[in-house]
């Protein structure tokens, strides 16, 4: 299945392992990723604080570019970028005057035909039963799935059905043989951008999350958003300092979990970049990483 | 040639201050068709009215126009005066010279000319009035009460005690409704069974009340005084006459594990069951969807055990038709299930229950015989959290109204819990306490001061389970929105009161309008709260909007008094301002061509299809026919009819045409 | 009054008509309007249409308009003032040009009919102030059947002046009446002398399809014949045939207004409508469409000849052309002569 | 140039809302122009568009049609039917070239006495600007020989 | 044409219908309605693009009803008319047989569903000259439109051929025949004509299936079909309802939606 890809800054910078694991598992799932040419920053949370029109124009330019490259769907792995693109599409869909203002700004035609998909929706499509046959019970660990906020809210933009108790990631983990545990912190806040200004709050909030997960006996917390991963993983020392407790539970991207289930080697999944040592691994023997055409294009 | 009497009123000097009444009277005197034209200081006074009466007699007037105040004020007065002088009251019209002329214009010729125009317009209208006679509609002296809760019971008893016949239809196997599920009732804490059961027995014993339980209204046709109700008596599979209610069959039934609706799923019942001990009638029914015999044809244990041989597996649903004069809808309400609330676990956690379920736990006849126990493991909860406004007053959930009764029953729940578990802690998260009834606020204060219930003003954001405990995360807005986290053993949600399921289809069957939340629509919120827009159909209780028992009972009695009033005279008389389809001589019979678009336009379903046949019965044509009992005289059909075959008495085409012509000529 | 024979060139004819207009008389001539030709007041001779078979509406409008004010009344400070438009109205001098001989005959029949026993002042005054310059027919279509009803493409009856096109833009002029003569004299310069021309060879050939006397004879026994119901099955009961017919003369009186002021109007009516004979009691002597279709034919071909020695049809074919259900009266009359025994 | 043309305006109103509203204008003694004559109907659903045609033919310069606000109708749906009729009638009249600025449609409830006075005054001024209604009156005289 | 003759013969011989209402050769090159009740004269039926008059007008005529159960040769607009008449309780699909001809294949439509399916498959297409007229008038100012219609309607002499030719004008006593009060002036002066034509348009709003019979029938060539086309356009644009599609549809003008919107009621 050919699909457009908008990596966004985190996947090039602080969460490179998310991009590497995604590109590693793509060929095994029959997923052909084609990057947006000359993509720009999505504005993330800072844009819509400063200037509403700018916060719409930036994502609009990305979507306009996607239309130029004739992508019917656009995969946006990072939850923040996904949220910005999806809410821009909705805002522009029913507000012709703003749409015209934005199209002037980006001087590109924009009609809003490309559909914006997050990682869970795409994985749900490609992790088909026959792919599952290749990796039976290949990731036999008790895990908890942490959705965070931007993947499930606001309901009007992100049409997740049980907003307070989402099950998409749990379902995906079941497909690769994991046993997702029921826990209360699925959509609790990790402190998000406070991680720079008020690391103490992030420490307390992430402490609660880690404590609840460890207390239930989870061997790993599965995430699908660079911000969640960096707060729970990179800030681990800070969290331990604030809470005064030791947590060794690793934080694993859903793409890395699938990669391990496929038996791909740790380096290609970027596990070596984690701050907390990844103590879980796939059951299958380690395969050599298959080079995929898209890889060639990028490197 | 018509002989019209014109009477110009000075209304003291409200009219004569700016309108030259003498000139108006003089001008009208010379108008063709006017036989008598005078002005007088107070037309509505007794001498004024006698002026009209004597003029009618002396001048043999064929019509009267009184030019005075608004017809909305004194039209009945002057029409009665004409009737006393043996002139058909509908040959009397009023011209509004006060509100529409003298009070709103300055003194001057323009004002007087306008007065002359208005009066001459009404003279032309009166010339074309026809004598009309009030419509007499026979009334069947039997009332149909739909819904056997406290509202239905009260209404039925009031009507029956007034000597009228009542048919009470209840969908469940027993009457009693939600009140029978309650433990004790606020604000007096008297046990609901003790005050309800005698009424239920009274209903069963009252000779004027025919009780059909496990039955539903199939259809209602006809109009006020002349309804025909078709009731579907669902098959109970038990012969009510033979059954003595001994209960052997229930004990014999091998199936025990059916969640009892009466106990809101906390207790179990068999396939053949009596919903609760004090049920009226105290006769079992077989739940055919769960009974093995109806699934595989085997078992029949209950039949073998029944001493009176009263089990009838072959019994079929029965449809009975009853002539009905008036209907009282008392179908009550329902409450939202816990599964409706995502933030409280979508009904996953067993110990998160609704208010009604907690009532069952408190009730002596409940599954735990009145002991408060956690449904999950049966232990007595030491810390319990009550959450008010769950779903109510929440536009995001689509329920923006307040359910009115939760504040009071939540306080009662907390109080009763403290009476039963002295060392337990009760917390109530609330937004505002609404305890406005008689003795209500004092009751609520007692819960805080005497029973030490902790009231925390704030909403809770999430409930989740952590090693057996329910973590309730909320905020206390009186302490500066400080976050509160309680490890509770049990949580009771005071969920929103919503319309009973099936309310919408019942409303459509009765042609009664309902609001966006499927509560039945009253005719006027302040002045006609127990009536509907459909003549002869009344409302009472929570089916109209959530309300507590005292208010429900008073509405039930109010609706009953409406029915009794309706039945108090042999015939129903109604204003003859109704539409009539014209009839002409054969071979045309009527200019109506039977397109029946008027039928779909009529808001009161007052237009029927009538077959015109030859003497031998061969159909000649179908024409529209207006039912005088239902037509309210809005005239939409009249202006709509393309061939002008239907006309409105009192505002006929000729009359309004003449008014326009006279006004502008 | 001797019958002078003259000829007129086409461009002279235009000048002649132009002069009539400038002389202040109202000239009505056939002009084109949305693919159909009508007799309309002409202000510019170049818009006049010369080669047409038949106009959509007949010229009867000039004698018997579709809506005519007979009298009006008004209450002026209590007193009723009445104006009788037959006296009060002045009827302007008018010239009709371009009508075919059948129409001219029709106008004559109409005036004769309205003059029968109580003369109708309105049509009489209009007829007096009207001069008819007809043009013989050099072409026809199969709706025409003037020869079967006693007239012909070159008939001079009813016309004050009859022009017959004789080729190379010349017309043979026959002046029939004083009115024609006075109009001719006033513009004599446009006419040239000529000897008698037998005009038949220029006229369109029109064979007789039936004999009207034969039809009249058979109709007296045809009242209950089934021929009427078969033909009239498709008749929709509108008034088109009556209103385009140059001879139909039925009218309905309508009073419009209030007790203070109003008018009494004379409007066309048609026996095709059921309302025409509906009694207030609801009874209708002509219950269905075949009765009414029969009435139309009987009135023209049986009752009028019997009572007024006038034939109610000039064979102009307008009713057949105008009929939405293609009720062809020529076909019906032919059938009558064939199917009903003499 | 002070325009002192006094237009003749007819108002077709429904008895339960606008007529009662006009009564309220009276009881609150709010003055308004004398040009308007009110004709009472049980409901706006009862007002036949032919009455407007007849009013203009008889020389009315303006017409006001007013009744209950949507959902207020005493007969529940009379005003909804009326609204549909006026939507089609207005566009048909404009399609056939009749200037509908002489017709004012409005909702006036029984509580809006002031609004009724305001509607009357603004309508009278607007019609005064438009001047006497000639086109329709001429129409009724053309085509008669 | 053969298929039509064959089908007509079968229907008559089988006694399923007693009369076939169809098109036959008329005078000159014209086409006229024919009513065939004998099987052997079934061959009089013709079918070509001259057949445009709406024969549904004869279904309600007493003289035709007397002949028994009819079959009717139907163009797409006639099918739409029949559906509209069914929805207005004037006809029942059980007692008529509708014959539709598509490139010489004759099919019988005898129930509501088949009629509706056929109607849905054949939307009304206006001939180019009508499209042009509609566009021209749409671009006119209100004064130009006034002059245009006054000029056109001045030719009307109230022969009511438009009413007679229209299958949806089935009232036994029309509004115009009503004289207490005289809603529509009988005289054909400008006011009388205007009142008649605006009432005709209002009565057909949301009902006219735009078959064009009225325009064809008008002896003085007034494009009155444009009035009913405009009325239907307004109803479709404002209420989204179209006639002639469903046998149980509520007519647009006798129903309403609470959310109907307009801008002129203040």
E105–D contact, CB cutoff 8 A:
no
Strands B190-191 and B209-212: what pairing?
unpaired
Cβ neighbour number for residue D132 with a 10 Å cutoff: 13
According to CATH, where is 1.20.1050.140 located in chain A?
2-119
B117–D contact, CB cutoff 8 A:
yes
Distance, CA of B32 to chain centre: 52
Give mean pLDDT, residues B564-586.
Answer: 91
The whole-angstrom distance between D30's CA and the closest CA on chain B is 6
Give mean pLDDT, residues B585-603.
Answer: 91
Give mean pLDDT, residues B288-315.
Answer: 90
Selected residues 564-623 of chain B with any CB under 8 Å from a CB in chain D: 577, 601, 603-604
User: DSSP string covering D15-79, please?
Assistant: TTTHHHHHHHHHHTT----TTEEEEEES-GGG--HHHHHHHHHTT-SEEEEEEPPTTT-TTSSHH
Least confident span in A277-286, B236-245, B386-395: A277-286
Q: Report the pLDDT value the prediction gives residue A136, as an integer from 0 to 100.
A: 62
| Omega before residue D5 within 30° of 0, cis | no
Which one of E89, E180, E251 has the shortest CB-CB distance to B594?
Answer: E89
Q: pLDDT tens across C55-72, in order?
A: 999 999 999 999 999 999
Q: D2-141: which CATH topology? A: Rossmann fold (3.40.50)
Which one of B586, B587, B665 has the shortest CB-CB distance to C260?
Answer: B665
Asked whether residue C122 carries a pLDDT value surpassing 70, the answer given is yes
Nearest to B663 by CA among B91, B12, B123: B123
According to CATH, where is 3.50.50.60 located in chain B?
142-234+317-332+500-567, 335-498
Q: Crossing angle of helices A254-261/A119-126, nearest 10°?
A: 20
* D141 token code pair: 């005289």
Q: Report the pLDDT value the prediction gives residue D137, as an integer from 0 to 100.
A: 66
What is the distance between the alpha carbons of residues E171 and E179, in angstroms, rounded to a whole number? 15
C282–B contact, CB cutoff 8 A:
yes
* E203 token code pair: 């009565």
According to CATH, where is 3.40.50 located in chain B?
4-127
Query: Does C258 contact B587 at a Cβ distance shorter than 8 Å?
Result: no
Contacts of E33 in chain C (CB under 8 A): 234, 325-326
Nearest to C95 by CA among C141, C45, C155, C28: C28
Contacts of D143 in chain C (CB under 8 A): 67
Q: Report the pLDDT value the prediction gives residue A295, as an integer from 0 to 100.
A: 38
The backbone torsions φ and ψ at residue A170, rounded to the nearest 5 degrees and listed phi first, read -55, -40
Nearest to D82 by CA among B576, E264, B580: E264
What is the distance between the alpha carbons of residues D7 and B413, in angstroms, rounded to a whole number? 71
Q: Report the pLDDT value the prediction gives residue A111, as an integer from 0 to 100.
A: 84
Chain E and chain D touch, per 3+ beta carbon pairs within 8 A: yes
Q: pLDDT tens across B96-148, in order?
A: 999 999 999 999 999 999 999 999 999 999 999 999 999 888 899 999 999 99
Nearest to B531 by CA among B569, B562, B566: B562
C-alpha count within 13 angstroms, C-beta hemisphere, residue B626? 29
Contacts of C258 in chain D (CB under 8 A): 58
The whole-angstrom distance between B657's CA and the closest CA on chain C is 11
The whole-angstrom distance between B586's CA and the closest CA on chain C is 7
Query: Does B654 contact E171 at a Cβ distance shorter than 8 Å?
Result: no
What is the distance between the alpha carbons of residues C165 and C132, in angstroms, rounded to a whole number? 17
Q: Which of B75, B598, B630, B635 to mutate to test the interface with D (most CBs of D within 10 A)?
A: B635
Contacts of C259 in chain B (CB under 8 A): 32, 665
Tell me the CATH architecture of domain B335-498: 3-Layer(bba) Sandwich (3.50)
Query: Does B601 contact E255 at a Cβ distance shorter than 8 Å?
Result: yes
Nearest to E114 by CA among E127, E131, E96: E96
Q: Which residue has the tokens 């606000």?
A: D69
b/e code C8-23 from CB counts within 10 Å (16+ = b): bbeebbeebbbbbbee
Percent of chain C residues topping a pLDDT of 90: 65
* A287 token code pair: 């395969």
* B584 token code pair: 């002409």
Query: What 8-state DSSP symbol labels residue E265?
Result: B
**pLDDT tier for residue B508 given thresholds of 50, 70 and 90:** confident
Highest mean predicted confidence (pLDDT) among A257-266, B384-393, E1-10: B384-393
Q: Which of C61, C143, C234 to mutate to test the interface with E (most CBs of E within 10 A)?
A: C234
Chain A and chain D touch, per 3+ beta carbon pairs within 8 A: no
What is the distance between the alpha carbons of residues E140 and D95, in angstroms, rounded to a whole number? 9
Asked whether residue B558 carries a pLDDT value surpassing 80, the answer given is yes
Q: What share of chain E is helix, strand, coil (3-state, %, to 5)?
A: 45, 10, 40
CATH number of A128-289: 3.40.50.11810
Query: Does D46 contact B638 at a Cβ distance shorter than 8 Å?
Result: yes
Cα–Cα separations (whole angstroms), residue C92 to A216, C24, C89: 112, 9, 9
**pLDDT tier for residue D1 given thresholds of 50, 70 and 90:** low
Q: Which partners does chain A have (≥3 C-beta pairs < 8 Å)? A: B
Selected residues 81-140 of chain D with any CB under 8 Å from a CB in chain E: 81, 83-99, 104-107, 119, 135-136, 138-140
Which one of E90, E173, E180 has the shortest CB-CB distance to B595?
Answer: E90
Q: pLDDT tens across B185-212, in order?
A: 999 999 998 999 999 999 999 999 999 9
Tell me the CATH architecture of domain B142-234+317-332+500-567: 3-Layer(bba) Sandwich (3.50)
Strands A32-35 and A2-5: what pairing?
parallel
Q: Do the beta carbons of residue B237 and residue B288 sit within 8 Å?
A: yes
Question: Is the ipTM of this structure higher than 0.90?
Answer: no
Is the entire prediction scored with pTM above 0.80? Answer: no
- Helix, strand, or coil (residue D11): strand
Q: Do the beta carbons of residue A4 and residue A242 sit within 8 Å?
A: no
Contacts of B488 in chain A (CB under 8 A): none
What is the distance between the alpha carbons of residues E197 and E199, in angstroms, rounded to a whole number? 5
b/e code B97-114 from CB counts within 10 Å (16+ = b): bbbbbbbbbeeeeebbbb
**What are the extents of the domains in chain C?**
4-202, 212-339
What is the distance between the alpha carbons of residues B406 and B403, in angstroms, rounded to a whole number? 7
Q: pLDDT tens across B36-78, in order?
A: 999 999 999 999 999 999 999 999 999 999 999 999 889 999 9
Query: Does B342 contact A163 at a Cβ distance shorter than 8 Å?
Result: yes
Distance, CA of D50 to chain centre: 13
Query: What 8-state DSSP symbol labels residue B496?
Result: P
According to CATH, where is 3.40.50.11810 located in chain A?
128-289
The whole-angstrom distance between E213's CA and the closest CA on chain D is 20
Q: Which of D55, D59, D137, D144 to mutate to test the interface with C (most CBs of C within 10 A)?
A: D144
What is the distance between the alpha carbons of residues A128 and A136, in angstroms, rounded to a whole number? 12
Q: pLDDT tens across C193-249, in order?
A: 887 788 888 888 889 999 988 999 999 888 999 999 888 999 999 999 999 999 999
Q: Which residue has the tokens 């009218």?
A: C251
- Helix, strand, or coil (residue C304): helix
B342–A contact, CB cutoff 8 A:
yes
B32–C contact, CB cutoff 8 A:
yes
D1–C contact, CB cutoff 8 A:
no
Q: Report the pLDDT value the prediction gives residue D145, as an integer from 0 to 100.
A: 79
b/e code C261-277 from CB counts within 10 Å (16+ = b): ebbbbbbbbbbbbbbbe
Percent of chain B residues topping a pLDDT of 90: 76
Q: Which residue has the tokens 């009974």?
A: B291
Query: Does E89 contact B622 at a Cβ distance shorter than 8 Å?
Result: yes
* E101: β partners: E106
* C161 token code pair: 């002046």
Percent of chain D residues topping a pLDDT of 90: 70
Q: Do the beta carbons of residue B122 and residue B65 sit within 8 Å?
A: yes
Asked whether residue B535 carries a pLDDT value surpassing 90, the answer given is no
Q: Which of C259, C279, C281, C288 to mutate to test the interface with B (most CBs of B within 10 A)?
A: C259
Q: How buried is residue E176: exposed, middle or buried, by Cβ count under 10 Å (0-12/13-18/19+)?
A: buried
Least confident span in A129-138, B209-218, B440-449, C281-290: A129-138
Query: Does B635 contact D43 at a Cβ distance shorter than 8 Å?
Result: yes
Q: Report the pLDDT value the prediction gives residue C3, as an integer from 0 to 100.
A: 56
D111–B contact, CB cutoff 8 A:
no
Least confident span in A156-170, B123-137, B270-284, E110-124: A156-170
Q: B579-648: which CATH topology? A: Alpha-Beta Plaits (3.30.70)
φ/ψ region of C107 (left if φ > 0, alpha if ψ in -120 to 50, else beta) reads: alpha
Tell me the CATH architecture of domain A2-119: Up-down Bundle (1.20)
- Helix, strand, or coil (residue B567): helix
B661–D contact, CB cutoff 8 A:
yes
Contacts of B635 in chain D (CB under 8 A): 41-43, 45-46, 78
Query: Does D55 contact B100 at a Cβ distance shorter than 8 Å?
Result: no
Q: Report the pLDDT value the prediction gives residue D121, as an integer from 0 to 100.
A: 95
C260–B contact, CB cutoff 8 A:
yes
Q: Report the pLDDT value the prediction gives residue B187, as an integer from 0 to 100.
A: 92
Q: Which partners does chain E have (≥3 C-beta pairs < 8 Å)? A: B, C, D
* B82 token code pair: 């004409």
Contacts of C255 in chain E (CB under 8 A): none
Query: Does B634 contact D40 at a Cβ distance shorter than 8 Å?
Result: no
Mean pLDDT by 10 residues, chain A (299 residues): 89 88 89 90 80 89 90 91 90 84 87 88 87 76 90 80 82 89 86 84 90 91 91 90 91 90 86 87 61 38
* B565 token code pair: 């009033």
What is the distance between the alpha carbons of residues E162 and A194, in angstroms, rounded to a whole number? 79
Query: Does E217 contact C238 at a Cβ distance shorter than 8 Å?
Result: yes
Q: Report the pLDDT value the prediction gives residue C4, as an integer from 0 to 100.
A: 61
Cβ neighbour number for residue D83 with a 10 Å cutoff: 20
C-alpha count within 13 angstroms, C-beta hemisphere, residue E185? 30
Tell me the CATH architecture of domain B4-127: 3-Layer(aba) Sandwich (3.40)
Q: Which residue of B has its CA nearest to D61?
A: B664
Count of B–E CB contacts within 8 Å? 51
Sequence-distant (6+) residues with CB within 8 A of E205 are D88, D92, E228, E231, E232, E234, E235, E252, E253
B462–A contact, CB cutoff 8 A:
yes
Q: Report the pLDDT value the prediction gives residue A185, as an integer from 0 to 100.
A: 87
């Amino acid at each position: 299945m050919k699909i457009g890809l908008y990596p966004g800054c985190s996947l090039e910078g602080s969460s490179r392992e998310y991009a590497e694991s995604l590109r590693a598992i793509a060929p095994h799932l029959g997923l052909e990723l084609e990057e947006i040419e000359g993509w720009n920053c999505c504005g993330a949370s800072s844009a819509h604080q400063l200037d509403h029109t700018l916060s719409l124009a930036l994502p609009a330019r990305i979507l306009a570019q996607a239309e130029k490259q004739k992508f019917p769907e656009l995969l946006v792995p990072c939850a923040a970028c996904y949220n910005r693109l999806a809410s821009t599409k909705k805002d522009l869909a029913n507000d012709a005057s703003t749409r015209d203002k934005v199209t002037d700004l980006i001087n590109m035609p924009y009609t809003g035909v490309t559909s914006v998909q997050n990682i869970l929706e795409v994985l749900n499509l490609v992790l088909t039963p026959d792919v599952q046959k290749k990796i039976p019970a290949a990731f036999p660990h008790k895990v908890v799935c942490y959705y965070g906020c931007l993947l499930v809210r606001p309901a009007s933009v992100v049409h997740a059905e049980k907003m307070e108790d989402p099950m998409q990631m749990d379902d995906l983990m079941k497909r690769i043989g994991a046993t997702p545990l029921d826990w209360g912190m699925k959509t609790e806040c990790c402190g998000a951008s406070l991680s720079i200004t008020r690391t103490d709050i992030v420490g307390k909030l992430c402490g609660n999350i880690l404590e609840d997960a460890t207390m239930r006996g989870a061997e790993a917390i599965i995430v699908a958003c660079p911000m969640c991963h960096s707060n729970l993983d990179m800030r681990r020392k800070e969290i331990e300092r604030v809470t005064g407790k030791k947590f060794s539970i690793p934080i694993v991207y859903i793409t890395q979990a699938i990669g391990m289930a496929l038996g791909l080697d740790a380096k290609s999944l970027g596990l070596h970049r984690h701050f907390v040592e990844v103590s879980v691994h796939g059951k299958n023997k380690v395969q050599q990483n298959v080079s995929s055409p898209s890889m060639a294009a990028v490197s | 040639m018509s002989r019209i009497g014109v009477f110009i009123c000075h209304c003291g000097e409200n009219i004569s201050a700016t309108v030259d009444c003498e000139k108006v009277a003089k001008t009208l005197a010379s108008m063709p068709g006017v036989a008598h034209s005078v002005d007088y200081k107070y037309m509505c006074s007794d001498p004024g009215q006698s002026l009209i009466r004597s003029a009618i007699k002396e001048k043999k007037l064929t019509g009267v126009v009184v030019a005075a105040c608004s017809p909305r004020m004194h039209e009945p007065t002057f029409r009665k005066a004409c009737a006393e002088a043996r002139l058909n009251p509908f040959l009397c019209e009023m011209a509004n010279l006060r509100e529409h002329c003298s009070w709103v214009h300055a003194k001057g010729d323009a004002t007087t000319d306008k007065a002359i125009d208005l009066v001459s317009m009404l003279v032309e209208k009166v010339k074309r009035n026809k004598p009309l006679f009030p419509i007499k509609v026979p009334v069947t002296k039997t009332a149909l009460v739909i819904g056997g809760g406290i509202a239905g019971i009260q209404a039925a008893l009031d009507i029956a005690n007034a000597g009228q016949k009542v048919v009470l239809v209840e969908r469940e196997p027993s009457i009693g409704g939600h009140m029978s599920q309650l433990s004790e009732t606020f604000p007096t804490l008297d046990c609901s069974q003790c005050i309800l059961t005698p009424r239920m027995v009274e209903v069963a014993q009252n000779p004027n009340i025919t009780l059909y339980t496990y039955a539903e209204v199939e259809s209602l046709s006809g109009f006020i005084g002349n309804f025909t109700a078709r009731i579907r008596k669902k098959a109970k599979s038990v012969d009510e006459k033979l059954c003595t209610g001994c209960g052997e069959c229930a004990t014999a039934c091998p199936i025990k594990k059916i969640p009892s609706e009466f106990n809101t799923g906390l207790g179990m019942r068999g396939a053949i069951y009596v919903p609760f001990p004090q049920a009226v009638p105290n006769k079992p029914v077989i739940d055919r969807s769960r009974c093995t015999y109806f699934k595989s044809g085997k078992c029949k244990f209950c039949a073998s055990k029944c001493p009176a041989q009263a089990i009838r597996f072959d019994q079929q649903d029965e449809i009975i038709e009853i002539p009905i004069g008036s209907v009282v809808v008392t179908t009550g309400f329902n409450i939202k299930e816990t599964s409706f609330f995502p933030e409280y676990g979508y009904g996953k956690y067993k110990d998160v229950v609704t208010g009604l379920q907690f009532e069952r736990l408190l009730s002596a006849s409940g599954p735990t015989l009145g002991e408060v126990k956690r449904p999950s493991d049966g232990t007595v909860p030491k810390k319990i959290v009550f959450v008010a406004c769950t779903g109510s007053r929440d536009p995001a959930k689509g329920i923006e109204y307040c359910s009115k009764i939760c504040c009071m029953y939540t306080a009662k729940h907390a109080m009763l819990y403290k009476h039963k578990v002295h060392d337990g802690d009760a917390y109530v998260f609330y937004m505002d306490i609404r305890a406005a009834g008689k003795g209500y606020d004092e009751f609520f204060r007692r819960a805080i001061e005497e029973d030490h219930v902790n009231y925390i003003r704030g909403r809770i954001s999430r409930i989740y389970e952590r090693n057996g405990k329910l973590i309730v995360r909320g905020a206390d807005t009186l302490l500066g929105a400080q976050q509160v986290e309680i490890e509770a053993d049990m949580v009771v949600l005071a969920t929103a009161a919503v319309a009973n399921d099936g309310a919408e289809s019942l409303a459509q069957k009765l042609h009664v309008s309902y609001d966006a939340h499927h509560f039945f629509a009253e005719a006027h919120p302040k002045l006609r709260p127990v009536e509907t827009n459909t003549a002869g159909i009344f409302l009472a209780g929570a089916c109209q909007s959530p309300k507590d028992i005292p208010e429900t009972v008073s509405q039930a009695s109010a609706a009953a008094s409406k029915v009794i009033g309706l039945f108090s005279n042999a015939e129903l008389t109604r204003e003859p301002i109704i539409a009539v389809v014209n009839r002409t001589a054969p071979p045309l019979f009527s200019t109506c061509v039977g397109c029946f678009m008027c039928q779909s336009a009529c808001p009161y379903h007052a237009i029927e299809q009538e077959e015109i046949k030859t003497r031998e019965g061969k159909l000649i044509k179908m024409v529209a026919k207006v039912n005088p009992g239902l037509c309210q005289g809005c005239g939409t059909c009249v202006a709509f009819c393309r061939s002008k075959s239907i006309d409105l008495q009192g505002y006929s085409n000729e009359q309004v045409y003449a008014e326009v012509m006279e006004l502008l000529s | 009054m001797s019958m002078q024979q003259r000829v007129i060139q086409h461009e002279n004819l235009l000048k002649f008509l132009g002069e009539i207009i400038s002389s202040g008389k109202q000239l009505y001539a056939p002009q084109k309007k949305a693919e159909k030709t009508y007799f309309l007041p002409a202000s510019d001779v170049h818009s006049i249409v010369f080669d047409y078979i038949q106009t959509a509406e007949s010229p009867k409008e000039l004698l018997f308009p579709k809506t005519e004010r007979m009298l009006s009344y008004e209450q002026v400070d209590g007193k009723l003032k009445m104006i009788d438009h037959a006296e009060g109205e002045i009827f302007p001098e008018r010239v009709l040009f371009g009508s075919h001989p059948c129409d001219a005959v029709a106008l004559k029949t109409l005036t004769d009919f309205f003059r029968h026993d109580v003369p109708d002042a309105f049509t009489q005054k209009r007829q007096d102030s009207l001069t008819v310059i007809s043009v013989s027919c050099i072409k026809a279509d199969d709706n025409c059947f003037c020869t079967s009803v006693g007239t012909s493409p070159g008939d001079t009856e009813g016309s004050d002046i009859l022009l017959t096109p004789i080729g190379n833009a010349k017309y043979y002029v026959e002046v029939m009446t004083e009115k024609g003569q006075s109009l001719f004299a006033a513009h004599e310069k446009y006419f040239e002398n000529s000897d008698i021309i037998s005009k038949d060879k220029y006229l369109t050939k029109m064979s007789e399809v039936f004999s009207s006397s034969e039809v009249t004879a058979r109709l007296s026994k045809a009242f209950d014949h089934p021929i009427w119901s078969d033909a009239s099955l498709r008749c929709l009961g509108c008034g088109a045939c009556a209103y385009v017919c140059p001879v139909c003369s039925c009218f309905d009186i309508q009073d419009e207004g209030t007790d203070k002021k109003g008018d009494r109007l004379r409007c066309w009516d048609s026996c095709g409508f059921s309302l025409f004979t509906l009694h207030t009691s609801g009874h209708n002597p002509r219950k269905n469409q075949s009765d009414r279709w029969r009435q139309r034919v009987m009135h023209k071909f049986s009752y009028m000849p019997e009572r007024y020695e006038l034939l109610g049809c000039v064979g102009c074919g307008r009713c057949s052309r105008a009929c939405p259900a293609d009720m062809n009266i020529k076909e019906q009359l032919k059938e009558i002569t064939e199917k009903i025994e003499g | 140039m002070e325009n002192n043309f006094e237009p003749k305006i007819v108002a077709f109103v429904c008895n339960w809302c606008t007529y009662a509203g006009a009564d309220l204008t009276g009881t609150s003694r709010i003055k308004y122009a004398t040009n308007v004559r009110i004709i009472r109907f049980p409901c706006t659903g009862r007002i036949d568009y032919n009455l407007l045609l007849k009013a203009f033919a008889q020389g009315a310069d303006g017409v006001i049609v007013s009744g209950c606000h949507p959902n207020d109708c005493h007969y529940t749906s009379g005003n909804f039917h009326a609204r549909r009729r006026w939507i089609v009638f207005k566009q048909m009249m404009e399609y056939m070239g009749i200037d509908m600025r002489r017709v004012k449609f409005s909702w006036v409830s029984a509580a809006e006495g002031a609004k009724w006075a305001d509607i009357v005054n603004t309508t009278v001024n607007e019609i005064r600007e438009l001047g006497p209604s000639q086109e329709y009156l001429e129409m009724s005289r053309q085509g008669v020989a | 044409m053969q298929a039509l003759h064959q089908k007509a013969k079968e229907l008559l011989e089988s006694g399923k219908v007693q009369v076939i209402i169809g098109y036959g050769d008329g005078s000159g090159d014209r086409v006229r309605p024919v009513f065939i009740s004998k099987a052997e004269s079934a061959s009089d039926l013709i079918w070509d693009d001259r057949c445009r008059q709406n024969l549904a007008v004869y279904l309600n005529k007493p003289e035709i009803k007397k002949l028994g159960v009819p079959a009717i040769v139907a163009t797409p607009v006639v099918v739409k008319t029949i559906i509209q008449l069914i929805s207005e309780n004037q006809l029942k699909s059980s007692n008529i047989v509708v014959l539709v001809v598509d490139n010489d294949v004759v099919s019988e439509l005898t129930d509501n569903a088949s009629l509706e399916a056929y109607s849905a498959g054949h939307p009304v297409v206006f001939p180019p000259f009508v499209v042009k007229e509609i566009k021209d008038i749409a671009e006119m100012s209100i004064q130009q439109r006034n002059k245009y219609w006054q000029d056109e309607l001045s030719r009307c002499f109230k022969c009511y051929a438009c009413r007679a030719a229209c299958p949806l004008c089935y009232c036994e006593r029309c509004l115009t025949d009503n004289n207490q009060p005289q809603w529509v002036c009988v005289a054909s002066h400008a006011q009388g004509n205007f009142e008649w034509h605006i009432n005709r348009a209002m009565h057909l709003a949301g009902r006219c299936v735009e078959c064009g019979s009225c325009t064809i029938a008008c002896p003085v060539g007034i494009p009155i079909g444009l009035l009913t086309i405009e009325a239907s356009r307004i109803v479709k644009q404002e209420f989204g309802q179209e006639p002639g599609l469903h046998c149980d549809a509520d007519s647009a003008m006798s129903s309403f939606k609470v959310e109907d919107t307009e801008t002129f009621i203040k």
